[in-house]
């Protein structure tokens, strides 16, 4: 009988652990967006909570986000990882290239803001986190928000102005035709108030033979100072840590892009390097990232 009571207790504890993960829905801009709240066993208003934004065309359940949320939970840090709508109601999973593309970079600002507001109802120590292009979108949100009531921000391998310029420069090599005529067409359409006009293009972001609105194409490939993540972060007043892997070939210039801003920040902006990690910080590298985040949180408490 004693072993049976023990089994019941273990099952109850297992159910309690499962209850630490919860799907949350918000309505932003007329669409329902989804997020996953993961909390440690002892969750309270003083528990640090990380609002997590994924990278290009990705989602809240991608490996780098999932690995980090679990590693953070083990360190007593809660997380609220969300999936950007990208024009789709209740979007889950990777954005399918076969779908039509109608979304712009600025739309992420409102979504991140909505999730930060939701997080602030759960914790008094809220941090913003962004991976890859999500890092740029978090920086856009922070710069647009002035002085949001956040404890700090973590940017993991954030997209840089150099990486964006490289994508534009390699368009012809990647898709077999110059970028210029398509960008000119998109820019003219947006300027004429026809941003919702559909275009058939040989490539858009990572998608071949895509159907995309003029506003989406112009937003991604047009000249935009908001693509300079380092310049945006340099404007901020809050503590920020930028984490970079030494074997990142997707955004290889993160360290050099942020070096001068970090040096001039007086310690407000930290640049942390993880040896041998690539752009996605898989497996044990996720533990290394979680350790650096925990150190940053302890410093800012």
Average pLDDT over residues 144-154: 85
- Phi, psi (deg, nearest 5) at residue 243: -110, 130
Closest Cα to residue 220, out of 137, 278, 155? Answer: 137
pLDDT of residue 223: 87
Task: Find out whether 71 and 290 touch, Cβ atoms under 8 Å.
Answer: yes
The predicted-structure confidence for 76-95, as pLDDT tens digits, reads as follows: 999 999 999 999 999 999 99
Interacting residues of 70 by C-beta distance below 8 A, sequence separation 6+: 38
The predicted-structure confidence for 38-86, as pLDDT tens digits, reads as follows: 999 989 999 999 999 999 999 999 999 999 999 999 999 999 999 999 9
Closest Cα to residue 121, out of 31, 52, 68, 49? Answer: 49
Average pLDDT over residues 106-132: 96
Interacting residues of 106 by C-beta distance below 8 A, sequence separation 6+: 140, 219, 226
Q: How far is CA 9 from each of CA 16, 41, 75, 297, 299, rounded to the nearest angstrom?
A: 11, 16, 24, 34, 38
What are residue 228's DSSP bridge partners? none
Q: What domains appear along the chain, each with residue ranges and CATH number?
A: 15-160+228-300 (3.40.50.1820), 163-224 (no CATH)
Q: Does residue 16 register a pLDDT over 60? A: no
Q: Does residue 144 register a pLDDT over 50? A: yes
What pTM did the predictor assign? 0.91
**Dihedral of the CA atoms 24, 25, 26, 32 (nearest 10)?**
150
Q: Does residue 8 register a pLDDT over 50? A: no
Distance (Å, whole) CA 93 – CA 100: 16
DSSP the chain: -HHHHHHHHHHHHHHHHHTTEEEEEEEETTEEEEEEEE--SS--TTS-EEEEE--TT--TTSHHHHHHHHHHHHTT-EEEEE---TT-TT--SSPPTTS-B---TTHHHHHHHHHHHHHHTT-SSEEEEEETHHHHHHHHHHHHTSS-S-SEEEEES---HHHHHHHHHTHHHHHSS-SHHHHHHHHHHHHTT-TT-EEEEEEETTEEEEEEEHHHHHHHHS--GGG-HHHHHHT--S-EEEEEETT-SSSTTHHHHHHHHHHHTTTSEEEEEETT--TT--THHHHHHHHHHHHHHHHH-
Q: Does residue 20 register a pLDDT over 90? A: no
Distance (Å, whole) CA 192 – CA 218: 13
């Amino acid at each position: 009988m004693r072993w049976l009571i023990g089994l019941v207790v273990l099952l109850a504890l297992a159910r309690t652990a499962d209850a630490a993960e919860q799907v949350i829905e918000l309505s932003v801009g007329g669409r329902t967006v989804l997020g996953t709240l993961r909390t440690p066993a002892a969750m309270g208003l003083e528990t640090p909570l990380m609002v997590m934004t994924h990278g290009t065309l990705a989602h809240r359940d991608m490996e780098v986000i999932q690995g980090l949320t679990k590693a953070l939970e083990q360190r007593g840090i809660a997380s609220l990882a969300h999936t950007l709508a990208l024009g789709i109601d209740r979007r889950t999973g990777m954005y399918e290239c076969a779908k039509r593309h109608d979304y712009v970079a600025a739309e992420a600002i409102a979504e991140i803001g909505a999730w930060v507001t939701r997080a602030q109802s759960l914790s008094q120590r809220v941090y913003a986190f962004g991976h890859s292009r999500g890092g740029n979108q978090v920086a856009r949100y922070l710069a647009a928000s002035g002085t949001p009531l956040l404890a700090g921000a973590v940017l993991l391998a954030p997209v840089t102005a150099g990486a964006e310029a490289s994508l534009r420069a390699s368009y012809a090599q990647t898709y077999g035709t110059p970028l210029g005529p398509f960008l000119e067409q998109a820019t003219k359409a947006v300027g004429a108030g026809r941003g919702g006009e559909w275009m058939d293009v040989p490539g858009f972001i990572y998608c071949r033979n895509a159907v995309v609105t003029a506003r989406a194409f112009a937003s991604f490939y047009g000249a935009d100072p908001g693509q300079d993540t380092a310049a945006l972060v340099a404007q901020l007043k809050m503590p920020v840590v930028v984490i970079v892997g030494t074997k990142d070939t997707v955004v290889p210039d993160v360290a050099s892009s942020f070096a001068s801003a970090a040096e001039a920040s007086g310690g407000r902006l930290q640049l942390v390097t993880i040896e041998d990690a690539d752009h996605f910080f898989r497996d044990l590298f996720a533990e290394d990232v979680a350790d650096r985040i925990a150190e940053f949180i302890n410093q800012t408490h």
